[in-house]
Amino acid sequence: MADKLITIKQIGSPIRREKSQRATLIGLGLNKMHKTRTLKDTPQVRGMINKIPHLVSVISEE
């Protein structure tokens, strides 16, 4: 069975955010505005997205 993928895009700036929120963005591989990443859809990645929903958006789920 193929792994499910999720594509996320950074929509918010980490300026004036808590260090943990900045670290979460870096953990997702995002560091610049409007950058996108395709990652495996795991509970860990979903948890990171749910922690910073104001900074990222889910583009597609495959």
Domains of the chain and any CATH numbers:
5-61 (3.30.1390.20)
The structure's pTM equals 0.89
pLDDT, tens digit (0-9, with 9 covering 90-100), for 19-32: 999 999 999 999 99
Predicted confidence (pLDDT) at residue 34 exceeds the cutoff of 80: yes
Q: How confident is the model at residue 2 (pLDDT cuts 50, 70, 90)?
A: low
Cα–Cα nearest to 48, from 32, 26, 33, 31: 26
25, 48 in Cβ contact below 8 A?
no
Q: What is the pLDDT of residue 3?
A: 86
Amino acid code (one letter) for 42: T
Question: Where residue 15 falls among pLDDT bands split at 50, 70, 90?
Answer: very high
> What is d(CA 39, CA 24) in angstroms, rounded to the nearest whole number?
14
